[in-house]
Copies of this chain bind each other. A is one copy, B any other.
Amino acid sequence: MPVLEGAKSTLEARFKASLGAFTLDVDLSLPAKGVTALFGHSGSGKTTLLRCIAGLHKAQGELNVSGEYWQHAEYFLPVHQRPLAYVFQEASLFPHLTVKRNLEYGFKRILPQVRQISFDQAVQWLGLEAMLDRMPDKLSGGERQRVAIARALLTSPRVLLMDEPLAALDHRSKQEILPYLERLHEMLSIPILYVTHSPDEVARLADHLVLLDRGKVIASGSLSETLSRIDLPVLVGEDAGVVIQARVAELDARWHLCRAEFDGGSLWLPGDGLKVNDKIRLRVLARDVSLALDKHEDQSMLNLIPASVVELADNARPGVVLVKLKAQSTHFLSRLTARSVDKLHLIPGKKVWLQVKSVAVLE
């Protein structure tokens, strides 16, 4: 049983389910807190797994949440008795109830003493004040999804399942909702299972990553570890990269920049809204990292970091090589052409300068 490191395992799921020609066969342990991203191609069984955990699909197997069995050989806790919340992929608001009554639906059905979040709090967090009396069909897609999230939270769940909550939305609507999800993640000390096709959401929200392929778990581990594995095309093509934990060390008010320190160096990046000592997450894509043998200062790239080559892997495409590098304990990926690798004589152990063109702050 693969146990995710760095967190006491609290959700243990072992399922075997058949749906027509498809078979789900998983054995998972998830940590007590934080977001676990479920990633995998269309049809790999992500939705099926969430449905098994929720009890919406009766699979064979076992499910144990913080020491309590919700399902084992002879026992099956009915869906409505499981203290979980489920945000469905498609619109799932009750069309016959106003937003307010949609929100109250689950809220009214739990005991007042187990409520961890007040009605007004949820409304405020997700910015729903203005729409409480409207019917769901008068809402935009983004608003509908926010209501669904608030409704789920109001049941004070001990496990939160979210199935592509943002898939149907455009870029701007996503940007509206993501901060709420990040806040969620910080405030609730419960496991969140988050299905998404978007590498961006994975990088931004996830602490752990589970990779599904044709009904089987092919990888499971902490985000930084899983992402820097170059054997696994986790986030393929344009999206390969690493996520780094860092701390704001210095602000440059004039240029609206900040310097983020991590073990192995520091990076300058757009620093609006950050304060010194903020803990932040940085995403550095392999395509944004080029390598140089010397330190060149007369160019626009601000971030030059000494590092050494760890490993090289031919990427899926011919002529392209993925290079794993290390600056102290921090790993980076860099995607280069094979010719550049040859020109610079890159081999494991070689000292180089990382030229980082672009860094994204995730939270």
Contacts and interface: CB of A to CB of B under 8 A. Distances in A.
Interface string A156-192: 0000000000011111110000000000000000000
A103 interface: no
Given A270-B318, A272-B318, A290-B301, 13 more contacts: A41-B170, A41-B172, A42-B140, A43-B140, A167-B168, A168-B168, A171-B197, A256-B320, A256-B338, A257-B337, A288-B357, A298-B344, A300-B341
Contacts of A363: none
A339 B268 contact: yes
18 contacts: A41-B170, A42-B141, A171-B197, A171-B236, A252-B339, A254-B339, A256-B319, A268-B339, A270-B317, A270-B320, A272-B317, A290-B357, A291-B300, A299-B344, A300-B334, A300-B343, A300-B344, A357-B357
A268 B336 CA distance: 12
Interface residues of A, number: 57
B301 A293 contact: no
A83 interface: no
This chain: how many copies in the complex? 2
A353 to B, nearest CB: 8
6 tightest A-B CB contacts, nearest first: A256-B319, A292-B299, A255-B339, A300-B340, A170-B197, A256-B318
A355 interface: yes
B342 A255 contact: yes
Nearest to A42: B170
Contacts of A171: 197, 236
Interface of A: 41-43, 140-142, 167-173, 197, 236, 238, 252, 254-257, 268, 270-272, 287-288, 290-294, 296, 298-302, 317-320, 334-344, 355, 357-358, 360
Nearest to A315: B270
